[in-house]
Structure 1
Amino acid sequence: MSDKAVNLSLVKLVIIIATTVYSFTSMSNAFYLMSYAAIPWYILAGILFFIPYALIVSEYTGNFKNQSGGIYSWIVNSTSPRVAFMTVFLWYSSYTIWMASLFMKFWIPLSILFFGEDRTTSSRLVLGIPQIRWLGLGSLVAVALVALLISRGFTTISHFMLLGGVFILILFGIAAISNLFVLIHNNFTFSQPFQGMHSLLAAQNPTYQGLFGNLGFFIFGITAFGGLDTVASLVDKTGTGKNKFPKAILIATFVIAGTYLSGIFLWGASANWHTLFANKDVSLGNAMYFLMQNLGEQVGQISGLSADKAALVGQVYLRITGLALFWAYVGLLVTISYAPLKAIIEGTPKSYWPKALTRKNKHNIVRNAVWVQAVLIIGLVLLVSFGNAKATSLYNNLTLMTNVSRSIPYLIVALSFPLFRRKRSTYELLTESQVPWASGTVSVSIVAAIIFTVIQPITQARYLDSFFLIIGPIAFSLIALWLYRQFQKKISANLAGISNHRS
């Protein structure tokens, strides 16, 4: 059965787009880092980065809804094949290296679901084997399962994207309704006192006070809005939905912004910042679990349950969070394992790659490329879980090298947009006078994020980290440039061979 496209309704598209970008973890971490003071910075990140970037991506998808290259198709029609290939290579490489760490984190919500705590970092031995190696073996199985799902076509991919999105919406709904329930019961008195502008401008966390601290959180806000281009790369697979895709992006933009802002604000109904986060075990990796467990306990208490039963309700909320985030991880991993690969293999000229990589199965998926990518990710997972300290350090340095590299493709998309509008455009949302504003604000935001990302380790005397952050995009760009030249030589040699054969 052919699986060239899946007809998705506007509602399903909005759910998939919104929940691919929106992160329940980022929303919870924003409250953990800044409390109510996170809200103005999220608004600023939305105005300066997310909304104009969404408009740019919406225009690109409207104009290239039938092309499978995603970012490559956008850039090649705006600048040149060389710039487009270097951009998509940076984009793909960053995602591939990041995926290895995501597969290692994949088991954390499952551990929360079954045990009520994160046991993935435990140093205990299981059957005489260190926990990290069991985690690595489990991650290898997860990589293979995701590759198998992708190989079954976009119908399967879209089902898991939608499933993960629905679970995240349910989780947000539980958190929002429960916080409102607590707020109403407490006569609209917040657990974290809200004092108007003072609460919005003064961060509770001393680390995020002052100009440098606030700039750091602004970058965090921009990061929370990332990922729109990834899901937009799948527009050609959405059947009749491709005509609704630009509209779905715009609707999802406001859904994402609304869930972030309302969610951060409502956490204050049940969570007193100083009381809850006085626990030194709370971190960016688990703040959402503490918030949800505390919320469940409060719901139990105000419902008249005993302390033990209220604690049980807290455990239920905690494990629901683990369940929802597990399926969200599945949806995310399926998406980012497929979309960047599709862009670099299907978007670029077929002559660049060996025929085996571009060959498609009956589900219209480049199955061999999917499994080659899986082997690459498995290699990175093995490096982390079975390697020595030097191997782990190598992977950490590779990750640092991709941090800035991942931002550069977004910058090139924004910078190339005015060039695209001058060349060709049949679907337009922005007027000619608005194009420089959209391109400029997005570009300035990303440049600010890159500069801060590089400088921040220097302020903490982590000079080697800054070195890898800088060298990363340079190294990946040089590799991309070398590959591009090899591809061009290959094409020239093939053309010369055809010419000689005809003569």
Structure 2
Amino acid sequence: MSKEIYTSKRIVLVIATTVFSFSSSTMAFFTIGLKSLIWLAVVAVLYFLPFAIINSELTSAYPNSKGALYTWLADNLSPRIAFITTFIWYASYFVWMTSLFLKLWIPFGLLVFGQDISQMMTLFNMPAKVVLTFLSILGIFILTVIIHHGFLNIAKLMYFSGILMIGLIALTVGTNLFLSLQHPEMILPNLKIAATSQTFFESSKLTGFLSQMPFLIFAITAFGGLDTVSSLVEKVGNQQHKFSKALLIGGGAVLILYFLDIVSWGMGTNFASIRETSNTHLGNLMYGLISHLSSQVSNNPLVHEFYTRYTALTMFSAYLALLATIGYAPLKVLLHAGEDIFPASFLAINQNGIHFKAVKVQAMIIATFVILISVGTPLVTTLYNQLTLMTNLARSLPYLIVAAAYPFFKAKVSGDYLKLVKHRFLAKYLALSVVATIFIAIAFEIYSVILSDGLVAGIFLLLGPVLFAVLANYLYVVNTKNSRSRLSSFLSIRSISKR
């Protein structure tokens, strides 16, 4: 392992820029304005900081664990709960990977062609849908090759992406502050409009305070990623003893980045004018905000090109780094959790320490999903849309279960690890805070869907995690029965041989 990749500062940078999402920051500003700061602060205090402490202690207590989340839960709750949770966790990332591969070419098109090629009818004299499907398959192949060559390449990609992300934050924050200083008389009016405007979720059924509640589950997932980063602790060489502290420092940096970015948008941007732009929606929001920002700086086309293409470069590299990370880490944990379930060939590692056959199978399944979705059959498209809606819930549930396991961990483990929490009462409070926050967010997400789309839609929202849990439990039970059967046969053979 190359030492320069694993210095403490670089680990903090990678953690911070992996958890922080520039698109989440702009979406938070666009959907509920400066009210997002209140919700992010609430979620930070009640969920993110407690969860960062829990993750830091767990990674410190299990520094060499390849199973990460599975090992934490198997040791402190039960192997069955651990496997089911790990399966749901992996399934949510699998669906997310498919979604990201389909979105990967939006920043690529902006970077290379200066426009969103996903909105074009033809490309290279061929139907754009065919070209984009081919590019998505090519992207899956490239990411599989990167993962094949080992974690060092993934770490380098994460670090490069992190540097670009810091540059993008500096560009947007710096530009917004520059615009604010150019027109200081507009700072307070801009902030007032951004703080008092209606939320994006406002409707006849969701008004006032209730219209802000859908943002709660979004705020939790905006702080997501600590679980994935934590599963890489055994890969950082001689920096393992510093990794847990780096998680905390990186978590603090994420909070600063979110607040700095959102406040700067509020100071330098007329919130009402952004909302009134007819061609701005949640799909192209980030690039719309950047375009609006560059037009405020100058009418020179070169300035617009620089802002747009640098944003596209940053997001393209961020998607690649994220896909490489979640294409590797969750699968690694799942394979460790199902050592007795998956074929032995899946568990074999190549010369670079990668379960490459499993990675290839994962890539082929994702490619199949991409092709089916691109063909656009109604059944597959509807199924995929439902799975995408379920992803926030499926990603949040494992966080809840890890937090629930934390008091048991504190009561059971007494070795030498980063003990940030000394008293059991405080450990129970942190766990309860995380569990309650996630539970309320999930409950209101389901409630808001039922309110807007009906009871059936609310039931379908829960269906994904439930089906994943049922399938995982089936695999676990079948494997347990087979293991007992093999053990009984072995004991019978030994008994006969002794006679």
Q: Could you say which TM-score interval applies, normalised by the shorter chain? A: over 0.9
Secondary structure of 2:187's partner?
coil
Kindly indicate whether the alpha-carbon contact (under 8 Å) linking 1:361 and 1:367 is maintained by their aligned counterparts in 2: yes
- Counterpart Cα distance in 1 of 2:276 and 2:238: 51
Give yes or no for the alignment of 1:324 onto 2:321. Answer: no
Report if aligned partners of 1:402, 1:469 keep a CA contact under 8 Å in 2. no
Q: Distance in 2 between matches of 1:456 and 1:133?
A: 36
Q: In the alignment, is the contact (CA less than 8 A) between 1:5 and 1:155 conserved in 2? A: no
CA distance in 2, matches of 1:299, 1:128: 36
1:245 counterpart residue number: 243
* Offset from partner CA, 1:9-40 (integer Å, 9 cap, x none): 11111111111110001111111112222211
- Which runs of no fewer than 5 residues in structure 1 stay unpaired? 301-306
> Any stretches of 5+ residues in structure 2 without a counterpart?
none
Residue type at the aligned position of 1:362? Q
Q: Is the CA contact (8 Å cut-off) linking 1:5 and 1:237 kept in structure 2? A: no
Counterpart position of 2:446: 454
Report the Cα offset of residue 472 of structure 1: 1.6
Match of 2:384 in 1: 395
Q: Is the 8 A contact 1:4 1:364 kept in 2?
A: no
Does 2:22 correspond to 1:31? no
TM-superposed CA distance for 1:42, in Å, is 1.0
Structure 1 position 429 matched with structure 2 position 427? no
Aligned length: 488
Aligned equivalents of 1:87 and 1:411: distance in 2? Answer: 10
Residue 194 in 1 paired to residue 214 in 2? Answer: no
State the 1:204 CA deviation.
Answer: 4.1
State the match for 2:59 in structure 1. Answer: 61
Q: For 1:157 and 1:7, how far apart are their aligned partners in 2? A: 10
Query: SS state of the match for residue 360, structure 1?
Result: coil
Q: Is 1:364 equivalent to 2:353 in the alignment?
A: yes
Residue 456 of structure 1 deviates from its aligned partner by 1.5
Structure 1 SS opposite 2:253: helix
Q: Which residue of 2 aligns with 1:441?
A: 433
**Which residue of the partner structure matches residue 201 of structure 2?**
207
**Contact 2:69 / 2:86 at 8 angstroms: preserved in 1?**
yes
Change (3 A) 1:150 1:188: farther
- Cα distance change, pair 192–118 in 1 and its aligned pair in 2 (3 A): farther
Aligned identity (percent) is 36
Worse-superposed segment, 42-51 or 283-292 = 283-292
Q: CA deviation at 1:500?
A: 4.4
Instruction: Name the amino acid aligned to 2:422.
Output: T
Distance 1:153 1:6 in 2: 16
CA deviation string 1:276-333 (max 9, x = no partner): 2211211122222122222223233xxxxxx3x2x43122101110011100111110
Partner Cα distance (1:5, 1:85) in 2: 34
Give the deviation of 1:128 after TM superposition. Answer: 6.6
Q: Secondary structure at the match of 1:207?
A: coil
Rounded Cα–Cα distance in structure 1 between residues aligned with 2:478 and 2:452: 41
Look up the SS of the partner of 2:119 in the other structure.
Answer: coil
**Pair 1:456–1:259, CA change in 2 (3 A):** same
Could you tell me whether the CA contact under 8 Å between 2:49 and 2:251 is conserved in 1? yes
TM-score normalised over the length of structure 1: 0.92
Whole-angstrom distance in 2 between the partners of 1:5 and 1:375 = 34
Q: Distance between the aligned counterparts of 1:7 and 1:452, measured in 2?
A: 42
Mean Cα displacement is larger for which, 154-163 or 289-298?
289-298
Of 151, 154, 166, which residue of structure 2 is paired with 1:154? 151
Q: 1:490 to 1:283 in 2, by over 3 A?
A: same
Distance 1:192 1:276 in 2: 15
In the other structure, the counterpart of 2:106 is 108
Structure-2-length-normalised TM-score: 0.93
The question of whether the paired residues in 2 share the 8 Å contact of 1:67 and 1:73 is answered with yes
Structure 1 residue 164: deviation in Å?
1.3
For residue 408 of structure 2, what is the aligned residue in structure 1? 419
- The match for 1:183 is 180
- The residue that corresponds to 2:328 in the other structure is 338
- Is the 1:55–1:250 contact (alpha carbons within 8 Å) kept by the matching residues of 2? yes
* Matched residue, 1:482: 474
Secondary structure of the structure 1 residue equivalent to 2:453? coil
Structure 1 position 130, deviation (Å): 3.2
C-alpha distance in 1, partners of 2:338/2:371? Answer: 32
- Taking the aligned partners of 2:198 and 2:354, their CA distance within structure 1 comes to 49
- 2:76 alignment partner, SS class: coil
RMSD: 2.1
SS in 2 for 1:353: coil
Cα distance change of structure 1 residues 446 and 53 upon mapping to structure 2, 3 Å threshold: same
Structure 1's 27 and 192: CA in aligned 2 closer, same or farther, altered over 3 A? farther
For residues 40 and 113 of structure 1, the distance between their equivalents in structure 2, rounded to whole angstroms, comes to 34
Please give the residue correspondences for 1:214-233 in structure 2 after superposition, counting only pairs within 5 Å: 214-233=212-231
**Is 50-59 or 422-431 further displaced after alignment?**
422-431
CA distance in 1, matches of 2:384, 2:126: 22
Are the aligned partners of 2:102 and 2:136 in contact in 1 as well (CA < 8 Å)?
yes
Contact kept in structure 2, 1:143 and 1:374, CA below 8 Å = yes
SS at match of 2:184: coil
SS of the residue 2:118 aligns to: coil
Give the Å deviation of 1:461.
Answer: 2.6
Check if 1:315 corresponds to 2:305: yes
SS in 2 for 1:111: helix
Q: State the partner residue of 2:255.
A: 257
Q: Deviation at 1:236?
A: 0.6
SS in 1 for 2:276: coil
Which whole-Å CA distance do the structure 2 matches of 1:127 and 1:186 have between them? 45
Which 10-residue stretch deviates more, 180-189 or 413-422?
180-189
CA distance, structure 2, for counterparts of residue 48 and residue 422 of structure 1:
22
Task: Name the aligned partner's letter for residue 135 of structure 1.
Answer: L
Partner of residue 13, structure 1:
11
CA deviation string 1:439-462 (max 9, x = no partner): 111111111111122121211134
**Distance in 2 between residues matched to 1:139 and 1:252, nearest whole Å:** 32
1:96 Cα deviation after fit: 0.8
Report the secondary structure of 2:6's partner residue. Answer: coil
Whether the aligned pair in 2 keeps the contact of 1:36 and 1:203 (CA below 8 Å) is no
CA distance in 1: counterparts of 2:236 and 2:359, whole angstroms: 20
Verify the 8 A CA contact 2:32 2:212 in the aligned structure 1: no
What amino acid maps onto 2:365 in structure 1? L
- Measured at CA, do residues 485 and 215 of structure 1 come closer, stay the same or move farther in structure 2, by a change above 3 Å? same
